[in-house]
Amino acid sequence: MNANKTKRSTVVVALGGNALLRRGDEPSFANQLDNIKLAARAIAEIAKEYRVVIVHGNGPQVGLLALQNLAYDKVSPYPLDVLGAESEGMIGYMLAQELQNRIPEKDVTTLLTRIEVDSDDPSISDPTKFVGPVYDEEEGRALAEKNAWTMKRDGEYWRRVVPSPLPKNIIDKTSIETLLAAEQIVIACGGGGIPVCKCESGFKGVEGVIDKDLAATLLAKQLGAEKLLILTDAPAVFLNWGKQNQRALRNVSPDELKQYHFPAGSMGPKVDAAVDFAEFGGKAYIGALDQSLDVLAESCGTCVSLEHQLEEA
């Protein structure tokens, strides 16, 4: 029995922060819990067939923590790496509890995960990672001036953007491997992981939020996972999104996907992550949360693989 279990493929599931708190929803506990229950239902089905590691986003949640952080002005605001760790604990707890309720026979562990980045990463001077709620332009500009934030357009709305350094190494990878070997469902690298960089005393926190899709790709590569599943609030990768001539990309090669441009703050990192993992030799999938098993079965969503490059040739 144990020998059969070790042969199960590993899938890293990247769960978008916007899939846990939908765009425009009130960022309440009740709304997040409802969405996490939907996520847990989908992931529980995946866990019946695969060994699963879950990497979740935290853009809406860490932005909300930052706003709450500003409400008490008698102390300096906590840095983003600490708020990221808070969001890892909060979302990880909610996910673990709902997954355990769905499949009580499985152990589920949430692991606070540190990821090494460069202290002089270019994103520190050119932030692109959306966090927090959406605003209309007037409110967004007022908040930017009041709090010295950088704001950028996110579709028809405005949102705060923060540095998003590239992940280099998952410091706690061995612990993740140990939990997976014990057939546990593992929630790791939450919010893209806690960004840290090397210093004289070892490591120190970095002010930023790592993109969870890039962190999930790095994790999938370092674990030797066969599949990377990026779940979001879009059913697939689309060309000309939102226009009359929009078209879903279904089965594509990395080279084909690299020909197109996607927004840096939304679909761009997902496409970059999928291309990176496919070029590494794995299969990457992008699709909607409520269609996760169908996406893995390649009956919907977008699949990126070198196999499709061979088919094109």
| Tens-digit pLDDT profile for residues 244-253 | 888 999 999 9
The reply to whether 106 and 12 lie within a common domain is: yes
Domain range enclosing 97 = 2-63+78-118+169-222
Residue 182, Cβ neighbours under 10 Å: how many? 11
pLDDT, mean of residues 166-192: 96
Residue 42, H or E segment: helix 29-47
62: enclosing H helix or E strand: helix 59-71
pLDDT at position 7 is: 63
In the chain, the number of structural domains is 2
The CATH code of the domain that includes 294 is 3.40.1160.10
Lowest pLDDT segment from 16-20, 251-255, 287-291: 16-20
Do both 192 and 300 map to the same domain? Answer: no
User: In angstroms, rounded to a whole number, what is the distance separating the alpha carbons of residues 258 and 304?
Assistant: 11
pLDDT of 107-131, one tens digit each?
Answer: 999 999 999 999 999 998 899 888 8
Q: How many residues comprise the chain?
A: 313
> Is the confidence at residue 2, as pLDDT, over 60?
no
Once rounded to an integer, what is the mean pLDDT over residues 171-195? Answer: 96
Residue 123: DSSP 8-state: G
Question: 197 and 248 share a domain?
Answer: no
Of 11-20, 55-64, 228-237, 248-257, the range with the lowest mean pLDDT is: 11-20
If asked whether residues 216 and 230 sit together in one domain, one would say: no
CA-CA-CA-CA torsion sign (271, 275, 276, 281): positive
Distance from C-alpha of 270 to C-alpha of 216, rounded to nearest angstrom: 10
Residue 4's pLDDT is 46
pLDDT at 104 over 50: yes
Q: How far apart are CA 268 and CA 264, in angstroms?
A: 5
Q: What is the pLDDT of residues 247-280, one digit of tens each?
A: 999 999 999 999 998 877 678 889 999 999 999 9
Q: Would 152 be classed as within a structural domain?
A: no
Q: Which of 106, 100, 98, 93 minimizes the C-alpha distance to 50?
A: 106
Could you tell me if residue 73 is inside a domain? no
The catalytic site residues sit at 17-18, 129, 212, 270
pLDDT at 207 over 70: yes
Phi, psi of 205 (to 5 degrees): -70, 155
Asked whether residue 216 falls in the same domain as residue 251, the answer is no
Per-residue pLDDT averaged across 202-211, rounded? 94
Q: How far apart are CA 268 and CA 261, in angstroms?
A: 7
